[in-house]
Amino acid sequence: MNPQHLIHDVLPQEVLHALGWTLLHSLWQGALIALLLAALLGLMHRHTAATRYHVAWAGLVALLLVSGVTFFQLYEPAKGAAAAPATVGATAGAAFSQPVAQAQPMGILEKVWAQGQAYFDQYLPLVVTLWLLGMLIMGLKVLGGWVYVQRLRSYRTRAVSEVWQQKTRELGRQLGIGQLVTVAESAMVQVPMVIGHFKPLILFPLGALTGLSTAQVEAILAHELAHVRRKDYLLNLLQTMVETLFFFHPAVWWISDCVRTEREHACDDLALALCGDSLTYAYALTHLEEMMMKKNGASPRLAVAFSGRRRSLLSRITRLVQKSTLRPTFSEGFLASCAVIAGVLVFSASAWANEPVQNTQAQGQAREEAPAVPQGTTATAASAMVEQMEEGFTLQQLADGLIIVQNKKGKVVEVYVNGQRVPKDELGKYQDRIERQLAVARQGKTLRNEAEVEQALQHVEASLGALEENTSMPPAPSAPLPPVPGVAMAPAPPTPPGAHAISLLRAPVPPVPPVPPVAPLPDDEEANRRYQQSMKKYEGRMKEYHAKMEEYHARQQEFAAKLEASQASRSGEHKQRLAEHNERMKDHNKRMAEHAARMKEHEERMKKHNAMVEALKAALVEDGLIKSADDNYEFTMDKTGLTVNGQKQPDATFEKYKKIMQQATGEDVEKMFKKDGASFKINSKHTLDKK
**What's the rounded Cα separation, in Å, for the pair 322 and 316?**
10
Q: Distance between CA 548 and CA 543 in Å, rounded?
A: 9
Cβ pair 105, 111 in contact under 8 A: no
- Of the chain, the percentage scoring pLDDT greater than 90 comes to 14
Cβ count near 565 (within 10 Å): 12
Cα separation, 35 vs 605, in Å, equals 67
Residues forming beta bridges with residue 421, ordered by sequence position: 416
Which has the closest alpha carbon to 88: 13, 11, 22, 29? 22
CA 334, 339, 345, 348 torsion-angle sign: negative
Q: Say what the pLDDT of residue 676 is.
A: 67
Task: List 411's β-bridge partners, or say none.
Answer: none
In single-letter form, the type of residue at position 632 comes to: N
Q: Hey, what amino acid is at 316?
A: R
pLDDT category of residue 412 using cuts at 50, 70 and 90: confident
Predicted pLDDT at 97: 37
Tell me what the mean pLDDT of segment 635-641 comes to: 86
Residue 492 has a pLDDT of 52
Q: pLDDT band for position 488 (50/70/90)?
A: very low
Grade residue 447 by pLDDT with cuts at 50, 70 and 90: very low
For residues 392-415, average pLDDT: 65
Q: Report how far apart, in Å, the C-alpha atoms of 191 and of each of 185, 209, 227, 278, 309 are.
A: 10, 11, 15, 20, 11
Backbone angles phi, psi at 154, to 5 degrees: -125, -15
Per the model's pLDDT, the better-predicted residue between 6 and 513 turns out to be 513
pLDDT, greater one: 308 or 606:
606
Banded model confidence at residue 64, pLDDT cuts 50, 70, 90: very high
The 3-state DSSP class for residue 546 equals: helix
- Give 634's Cβ-side CA count (13 Å radius): 6
The 10 Å CB-count burial string (b at 16+, else e) for 161-174 is: eeebbebbbebbee
What is the model's pLDDT at position 150?
Answer: 85
Say how far apart CA 404 and CA 430 lie, in whole Å: 10
Confidence of residue 463 (pLDDT cuts 50, 70, 90): low
* Confidence at 32, pLDDT banded by 50, 70, 90: very high
Q: Give 414's strand partners.
A: 405
Q: Residue 37 — φ and ψ, nearest 5°?
A: -65, -40
| H or E segment to which residue 584 belongs | helix 525-622
Over range 444-467, report the average pLDDT: 56
DSSP states of 328-343 as a string?
PPHHHHHHHHHHHHHH
pLDDT of residue 288: 74
Please give the angle made by the CA atoms of 590, 596 and 597, to the nearest 5 degrees.
90
Cα(226)–Cα(304) distance, integer angstroms: 11
CA angle 6, 8, 12 (to 5 degrees): 145
Partner residues linked to 681 by β-bridges: 636, 689
What is the predicted pLDDT for the residue at 35? 93
Q: What pLDDT, in 10s, does the model give residues 172-182?
A: 888 888 888 88
pLDDT, the chain, mean: 74
Cβ(33)–Cβ(59) below 8 Å: yes
3-state SS string for 474-539: CCCCCCCCCCCCCCCCCCCCCCCCCHHHHHHCCCCCCCCCCCCCCCCCCCCHHHHHHHHHHHHHHH
Residue 149 burial (CB count, 10 A): 21
- Which of 177, 151, 179, 168 has its CA nearest to residue 202? 168
What stretches of 370-429 show up as alpha helix (H) in DSSP?
Answer: 378-390
pLDDT-above-70 percentage for the chain: 65
Residue-level length of the chain: 691
Above 80 in pLDDT, residue 157? Answer: yes
pLDDT class of 58 with cuts at 50, 70, 90? very high
Q: Alpha-carbon distance 601 to 301, whole Å?
A: 57
In the 3-class helix/strand/coil scheme, how is 184-229 assigned residue by residue? EEECCCCCCEEECCCCCEEEEECCHHHHCCHHHHHHHHHHHHHHHH
Report the C-alpha gap between 583 and 577 in whole angstroms.
10
pLDDT digits (tens, 9 = 90+) for 501-552: 454 567 788 888 888 888 887 777 888 888 888 888 989 989 999 999 998 8
The sign of the CA dihedral 445, 448, 452, 453 is positive
Q: Give the phi and the psi of residue 377 in degrees, each rounded to 5.
A: -105, 165
Cβ atoms of 89 and 114 closer than 8 Å: no
State residue 462's pLDDT score: 63
Q: How far apart are CA 81 and CA 18, in angstroms?
A: 10
Query: Could you tell me the CA-to-CA distances from 654 to 148, 486, 549, 686 in Å, in that order?
Result: 66, 43, 103, 21
Give me the mean pLDDT over the 664-673 stretch. 80
pLDDT score of 437 more than 50: yes
